Amino acid sequence: MKPVSQETGVIIISNANLSARLIEYLSHELSDWPQVAWLMIRQSATLEDEWLDAENRLFDAHRVSECEISQLLGAIPKTCYLLDVEASHPAHLAWLGSVCGHKMHFLELIRPEEQMPSSNSPQAQVEEILAATRFLMRCYLQEHYLSPD
């Protein structure tokens, strides 16, 4: 949804099960934030199966182990944080942190049936995502640009 740049420190990863309005609002909010990228996974089960098969083939000396998700995440610096944003399947994408060793964090959005009336809008969910992203961005900047005490 939003590509990685040299400035990227946080990559939001989500399934395609987010509402269209939430996707629209989040895209707008992230458009001017070069340190944040967004990757939407449309067929996570297929990607996971492909990755597990590729990992299994690592031990077969006669085959090269490559898969789409390894190539995609392999191009991202390992210093980037991944933020798994889930709306209905808790930690369904958590395995992505194991693909190339990125630091994975998880944010489960409140399900519509569990939301308070004031927080059931896509704007409230976007604010929840942005708050988690700001926190991870602060951590990233502290790790990379502040000297240790």
CATH code: domain of residue 29: 3.40.50
What's the confidence (pLDDT) of residue 139? 94
CB 84 within 8 A of CB 105: yes
Q: How confident is the model at residue 109 (pLDDT cuts 50, 70, 90)?
A: confident
5 in a structural domain: no
Is residue 149 predicted with pLDDT exceeding 70?
Answer: no
Domains held by the chain: number: 1
91 in a structural domain: yes
What's the confidence (pLDDT) of residue 131? 97
Burial class (CB in 10 A: 0-12, 13-18, 19+), 11: buried
46 in a structural domain: yes
Q: How confident is the model at residue 106 (pLDDT cuts 50, 70, 90)?
A: very high
Q: How confident is the model at residue 18 (pLDDT cuts 50, 70, 90)?
A: confident
What's the confidence (pLDDT) of residue 43? 87
- How many beta carbons lie within 10 A of that of residue 38, not counting itself? 22
122-145 vs 20-30: helix crossing angle, rounded to 10 = 40
What's the confidence (pLDDT) of residue 29? 94
Maximum C-alpha span of the chain: 58
Residue 29 gets the label, from left (phi > 0), alpha (psi -120 to 50) or beta, of alpha
35 in a structural domain: yes
Determine the structural domain holding residue 76 and report its residue range. Answer: 10-145
Is residue 42 predicted with pLDDT exceeding 70?
Answer: yes
Identify the weakest region by mean pLDDT among 17-31, 90-104, 105-119: 105-119
What's the confidence (pLDDT) of residue 49? 92
Residues of the chain with pLDDT > 70: what percent? Answer: 85
Six token digits for residue 97: 């942190």
CB 86 within 8 A of CB 14: yes
